[in-house]
Structure 1
Amino acid sequence: MQIALAPMEGLVDEILRDVLTRVGGIDWCVTEFIRVTERVQPAATYQKLAPELFSSAQTAAGTPLRVQFLGSDPQCLADNAAFACTLGAPVIDLNFGCPAKTVNKSRGGAVLLKEPELLHAIVREVRRTVPAAIPVTAKMRLGFDHKDYALECAQALAEGGAGQLVVHARTKVEGYKPPAHWEWVARVQDAVKVPVFANGEIWSLDDWRRCREVSGVEDIMLGRGLVARPDLARQIAAARAGQSVAEMGWAEFQPLLADFWLQARRKISPRYAPGRLKQWLAMLTRSYPQAVELFGLLRRENDCSRIDALLGVEVPVRPGREQLAIA
């Protein structure tokens, strides 16, 4: 079994990838999508969205990173993928699942599920262009506004050269509304000869067990469930191995939250760093009563120094140095 961390745009950046993979249980993760239109993106784009590429293409915990692209031009996607490989990308992933309206309006993400032939052409060209030793993978939903082409799309991706498929078990129109249609993951796996990962609505161990039973697949990708419960992958990996499962308590989690904030302070403008913290903390309220209380205190706070105090962290002011310490 493999457990992957989903590439959630605007949420799972290099900071959260670092913190979540340190908790354990995650076998690989994916960048936020790199949007491809008319040109090859410069190395600076990867410095921003995939800085792990310049550190052996893995997080500090040693979790491998895949580089994800989104677009609709087969040749342009292939050229960008080839360049990413020269920077050290170990796997190229293609996004055919993003449900964002702005992305879909410009022919990116889930809207391409209306065009199975184009899916095949994209994957075929990327597979033909990148080195043979570099795997090409893809993520899809079950369709745009219906599921009629779900199996045809999956077959187009696999036959084009995708070595793995992640299936978010909902259509674009269904968005993130429950339920996830895990039974369709089983149908996709029956229709293709490559490994299929189930994705969608796995928030707990019980959800994972039901997903495995209904979908019939062992491999999974965790998104919001893992962000809301950072040790979910670790719990699932332990349960799968027949080991006892000890949930991460707030005392164990607090240092990770503090480190997330310290990294945000270093890498994000003071204007936006508080918003990144609140975004994650709001999702953590689903799992931790303490997060509910802390979110209430931080909800309207935008002063970084006051947030430092509420989190119990100390940021030494030392000109020319960026060293940060947890109090």
Structure 2
Amino acid sequence: MQIALAPMEGLVDNILRDVLTRTGGIDWCVTEFIRVTERLLPEAYFHKLAPELQHGAKTRAGVPLRVQLLGSDPACLADNAALACQLGSEVIDLNFGCPAKTVNKSRGGAVLLKEPELLHAILLQVRRTVPAHIPVTAKMRLGFDTPDSANECAIALAEGGASQIVVHARTKMDGYKPPAHWEYIAQVQEAVKVPVFANGDIWSVEDWRRCREISGAQDIMLGRGLVSRPDLARQIAAAQAGEEVVEMTWADLQPMIRDFWAQAEAQLTPRSAPGRLKQWLAMLTRNYPEAAVLFNAMRRETDCEKVRHLVNSSDFQAV
């Protein structure tokens, strides 16, 4: 079984990738999507979104990083994929799942699921352009407005050269509304000969067990579930191995929060750093009442020094 950390634009940046992959259980992770339009992007842009490329395309924990590209021009995507390989990416991932309206309006992400022939053309061109030893993978949803074409899209990707396909078990129109329709992943796996990863609504070990039973997928990608429960991958790996599942406590999590803040303060602007911490804390409140206490304490705080004091000076016990 492989467990991957999902590429969540605007959330899972290199800082959160570092913190989460050091928690354990994650086999590989993916960058936020790199938007490709009509030109070859500068190397600096790749390094900005994927600084791990300067360290062997691995996080500090040694977890491999894949560069993800998003766009609709096969030749331009292929050229940028080739550059990403030159910069050190050992796998190229292609995004056909982003549901954002602004992305879809510019022919990126899930809107391309309306055009299976274009999916095939993109994969074929990228596969032909990057070195033969570099795998090309893809992430998709079940479709744009219905799951009727899920199998057709997956076949187009696989026949174009995708060596793995991650399926988020919702359509674009579903957004992130529950439930995820894991049963369609089973149909996709029957339609293609490459490994299919299940993605969507895996918030706990129990969810993983149900997802595996319904979808038949052995491999999974975790997104919001892992961000809100940082040891979820480790818990699932333990359960898979038949080992005792030990859950992370708030005391275990506090050093991670402090580490996240230290990196955010060092790498981000004083204006944006507090917001990134609040964003993660808001998601942690799903499983840690203490996170809600800390979030509420700094909800309106924008001064980095005061945020640093809050993060470092209190245990924030839940009440």
Q: TM-score, normalised by structure 1?
A: 0.95
What is the 5 A alignment of 1:99-178?
Answer: 99-178=99-178
Matches within 5 A, 1:276-295: 276-295=276-295
Q: Distance in 1 between matches of 2:176 and 2:212?
A: 19
Aligned match of 1:79: 79
State the partner residue of 2:300.
Answer: 300
How big is the shift at 1:245? 0.7
Residue 190 of structure 2 aligns to which amino acid in structure 1?
D
Tell me how far 1:259 sits from its aligned partner. Answer: 0.4
CA distance in 2, matches of 1:295, 1:84: 37
SS of corresponding position for 2:79: helix
User: What does 1:250-265 align with in structure 2 at a 5 Å threshold?
Assistant: 250-265=250-265
Shift of 1:147: 1.2
Range with greater deviation from structure 2 (124-133 or 39-48): 39-48
User: Deviation string for 1:234-289 (max 9, x for gaps)?
Assistant: 00000000000110001111000000000000000000100000000000000101
Letter in 2 for 1:133: H
Q: Which residue identity is paired with 1:30?
A: V
Q: Which residue number in structure 2 is paired with residue 247 of structure 1? A: 247
The aligned counterpart of 1:216 is 216
Aligned-pair CA distance for 1:47:
1.4
Q: Which amino acid aligns with 1:180?
A: A
2:316 counterpart residue number:
none
Q: Deviations over 1:39-60 (max 9, x none)?
A: 1111101111000011010000
| Structure 2 counterpart of 1:323 | none
What is the distance in 2 between the residues matched to 1:258 and 1:183?
A: 40
Matches within 5 A, 1:35-50: 35-50=35-50
Size of the alignment, in residue pairs? 313
In the other structure, the counterpart of 2:317 is none
Gaps of 5+ in 2: 314-319
Spell out, residue by residue over 1:52-74, the C-alpha distance to the aligned partner (whole angstroms, 9 max, x if none).
Answer: 01101000000000000000000
Over residues 283-308 of structure 1, what are the superposed CA-to-partner deviations in whole Å (9 max), with x where a residue is unaligned? 00001010011111011111111111
Q: Are residues 1:312 and 2:312 paired?
A: yes
SS at 1:66's partner residue?
A: strand
Rounded Cα–Cα distance in structure 2 between residues aligned with 1:217 and 1:83: 32
Aligned counterparts of 1:54 and 1:60: Cα–Cα separation in 2 = 11
Q: Secondary structure at the match of 1:209?
A: helix
Distance 1:3 1:47 in 2: 25
Unpaired stretches in structure 1, ≥5 consecutive residues:
314-327
Percent of aligned positions that are identical: 75
Amino acid at match of 2:123: V
Deviations 1:155-205 (A, max 9, x none): 000000000000000000000000000000000000000000000000001
d(CA) in 2 for partners of 1:266, 1:47 = 17
User: Superposition RMSD on alpha carbons, in Å?
Assistant: 0.5
- Counterpart residue number, 1:191: 191
Ranges of 4+ aligned residues in structure 1 off by more than 2 Å: none
Provide the C-alpha distance between the structure 2 equivalents of 1:18 and 1:155, rounded to a whole number of angstroms.
Answer: 34
Q: 1:206-258: per-residue Cα shift (whole Å, max 9, x none)?
A: 00000000000110000000000000000000000000011000111100000
1:320 is aligned to none
- Structure 2 CA distance for aligned equivalents of residues 203 and 224 of structure 1: 8
2:93 maps to 1:93: yes
Give the letter aligned to residue 109 of structure 1. G
TM-score of the pair, normalised by structure 2:
0.98
- Match for residue 61 of structure 2? 61
Give the secondary structure class of the aligned counterpart of 2:29.
strand
Other-structure match for 1:232: 232
Give the 3-state SS of the residue equivalent to 2:147 in structure 1: coil
